């Protein structure tokens, strides 16, 4: 009989599907936990910068938005590429070394980076330029004037 092993094949397939779904759930839970850690670290970093550089509440709000302290992982874009685009935007606008270097960027597509080395470098550069007296409100005021 050709269908004699069908019940054991179905049982094995069902068991594998359950194992895979459990693994997916564990990975999703891990992702939520890791995003919570990342956003907590971002909030701490912003808070420390605001205290050190004596930023106003308005500057704190702006920094929170650029450091993605309320980021929700989505299907379209991930944290790394969004954060890198945010840091690049700051470096090319209000934190540019000279106003001549300040440009408006068109970042319509975000790509998944092959490593986080570029992101680490951009975050370090932003913090360094803030340390040297850079301000983040310049971008906001320039953006509002254009509207």
Query: CA separation (Å) from 117 to 4, 27, 36, 66, 84?
Result: 56, 24, 21, 18, 10
Whether 118 maps to a domain, the answer reads yes
Examine residue 1 and state whether it is found in any structural domain, yes or no: no
Q: How many domains does the chain have?
A: 1
Is residue 30 classed as helix, strand or coil in its secondary structure? Answer: helix
Given this model, what pLDDT does residue 142 score? 44
Give the pLDDT score at 45.
94
Q: Record the pTM.
A: 0.74
Domain of residue 119 covers 6-146
pLDDT along the chain (147 residues), means of 10: 78 96 96 91 94 92 91 78 90 80 59 86 94 76 44
Q: Is 69 contained in some domain? A: yes
Residue 54 lies in a domain: yes
Cβ within 8 Å of residue 62, ≥6 positions away: 136, 137, 139, 140
Q: What is the pLDDT of residue 145?
A: 44
Token representation of residue 76: 């379209």
């Amino acid at each position: 009989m050709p269908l004699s092993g069908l019940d054991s094949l179905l049982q094995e397939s069902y068991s594998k599907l359950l194992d895979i779904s459990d693994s997916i759930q564990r990975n999703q839970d891990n992702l939520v936990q890791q995003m919570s850690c990342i956003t907590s670290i971002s909030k701490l970093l912003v808070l420390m910068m605001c205290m050190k550089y004596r930023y106003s509440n308005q500057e704190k709000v702006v920094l929170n938005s650029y450091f993605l302290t309320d980021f929700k992982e989505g299907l379209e874009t991930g944290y790394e590429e969004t954060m890198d685009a945010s840091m690049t935007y700051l470096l090319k606008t209000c934190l540019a070394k000279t106003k001549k270097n300040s440009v408006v960027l068109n970042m319509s597509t975000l790509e998944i980076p092959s490593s986080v080395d570029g992101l680490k470098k951009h975050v370090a550069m932003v913090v360094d330029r803030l340390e040297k007296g850079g301000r983040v409100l310049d971008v906001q005021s320039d953006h509002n004037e254009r509207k």
